[in-house]
Amino acid sequence: MRVAVVVFPGSNCDRDAGHGIDDVLGTGTAEFVWHGESDLRGADAVVLPGGFSYGDYLRCGALARVSPIMSAVRQAAHAGVPVLGICNGFQVLCEAGLLPGALLRNDHGQFRCDVVPLRVCTTRTPWTSGLQLGQSVRLPIAHGEGRYHADPHTLQRLLAEDRIVLVYEGENPNGSVAHIAGICSEDRNVVGMMPHPERAVHAWLGGTDGRAVLASILRSTLADDRRSAPVILEEAAHVPAHV
Amino acid sequence: MIGARVRIALKRSVVDPQGAAVATALRALGHGEVRSVRVGRVVELVVDAEDETSARAAVDAMCQALLVNTVVETWEVDIVDAGQVGGLSVGEAACV
C-alpha cells in the first residue's frame, strides 16, 4: 500500500505524517508528493499534513487549494480514495470545498498546544473504521485557527448524515460549533480533523491512540495490500510498551 | 487599467477574536470609549478591463473564486483610479 503525503510550501508536519504512516503501516508506505506535481502516482490514500501552507497567506489553506496537486487530490477524492486532512490539511479541504464549513481563529484568540480527549462519533469512514463507536481517544492538537464553523443548515446535515467524526470530550479548545474536531464528506472517504494522529504513534511520543486512526485505512484498502492485513491490524492494536 | 479595492469582513454572525483582542489593547491604551472592533482585510487590485462594469464583474468572480471565503466572509468592491492602488511588486527595488 502507498499513502501519498502532500508537501506544500510551509507544511511542517509532513515528515511526522510520513514517519507515523511508515511506523504504523510499514516502512516505505508513505510517499511524499510535492504540491507542484500533478499526479498522485496511483496512491491508495492521501494525507494532507499540518503546517502553515503558503504562510497562511490570505486565509489558512486558501492558496494551497489552488496548488497543481489539488486537481489530482480532488479527482482521487471523487474516485473514493481515502483522503485525510490533518490540521492545516483540514483547512485546505474546507477551502477546496471537499468538506463543508470553515475553520476560524480560536474563540479565545490563543494558539492551543495540548493533548485532548476526543470521542469517536462515527466509525463509518476509512480513517476511523478501526476505532470503536463512542470510544475516547487522546490526541495532540496544535492550532490557532481550529474553530470549526458551519451554518445551521450544514450542521443539521452533518448530524443527520452521521458525518461528525470526532468531537472534543472535555473543554472545547477552540470554540468549534457542536464541539466538532473532525468531519467527513458526503461520500465519507474524505476526512478532516484538527487533532494530529501522526503525533500519537509511540508511547514515548506521549500516546499511541493515533495508530488506530492511521491503521484504519487498511480495512478500506485491503484488496490492494500485499502484506497480510490481519497481521498489520494486529500489530497496530498491540503496541509494545517500549515502542 | 482600472483599480479595485476589495473590503472583506467576517459575517456579523461570526465571532471575531482578533477584533476582541484589538479592542482590549485599545482600552489598555486608554481608549475606554471603544465598544467593539472587528478586523477585516483589504485587497487592492489593478485589472485590465474595458470599463467599470466589466472590472467589477471580474473582481466579483475573483472574490468568489479565491479572495473571499463565502462561508464566513462578506465583501464589497470599490472601483478606484488605478494609480491609487498600485504598489511595488515583489522584486522591484524600493528606492526611497
| ipTM rounded to 2 decimals | 0.83
If DSSP codes are grouped into helix, strand and coil, which group holds residue B7?
A: strand
Do the Cβ atoms of A63 and A20 come closer than 8 Å?
no
> Is A243 inside a domain boundary?
no
CATH number of residue A217's parent domain? 3.40.50.880
Give the tens place of pLDDT for each residue, A41-88: 999 999 999 999 999 999 999 999 999 999 999 999 999 999 999 999
pLDDT score for B57: 98
Q: Is the CB of B17 inside 8 Å of chain A's CB atoms?
A: yes
pTM equals 0.88
User: Rounded mean pLDDT of chain A?
Assistant: 92
Interface of A with B in 116-155 (CB under 8 A): 149-151
Give the tens place of pLDDT for each residue, A94-147: 999 999 999 999 999 999 999 999 999 999 999 999 999 999 999 999 999 999
> Is A176 inside a domain boundary?
yes
pLDDT score for A242: 46
Q: Among A138, A143, A147, which residue's Cα sits nearest to residue A120? A: A138
> Is A42 inside a domain boundary?
yes
Min distance B18 CA to chain A CA atoms (Å): 6
If DSSP codes are grouped into helix, strand and coil, which group holds residue B43?
A: strand
pLDDT score for B86: 78
> Is A107 inside a domain boundary?
yes
> Is A118 inside a domain boundary?
yes
* A243 has a pLDDT exceeding 80: no
> CB distance B72–A107 less than 8 Å?
no
> Is A242 inside a domain boundary?
no
> Is A222 inside a domain boundary?
yes
Work out how many domains chain A is built from and give that number.
Answer: 1
> Is A7 inside a domain boundary?
yes
Which range of residues forms the domain containing residue A199?
Answer: 3-237
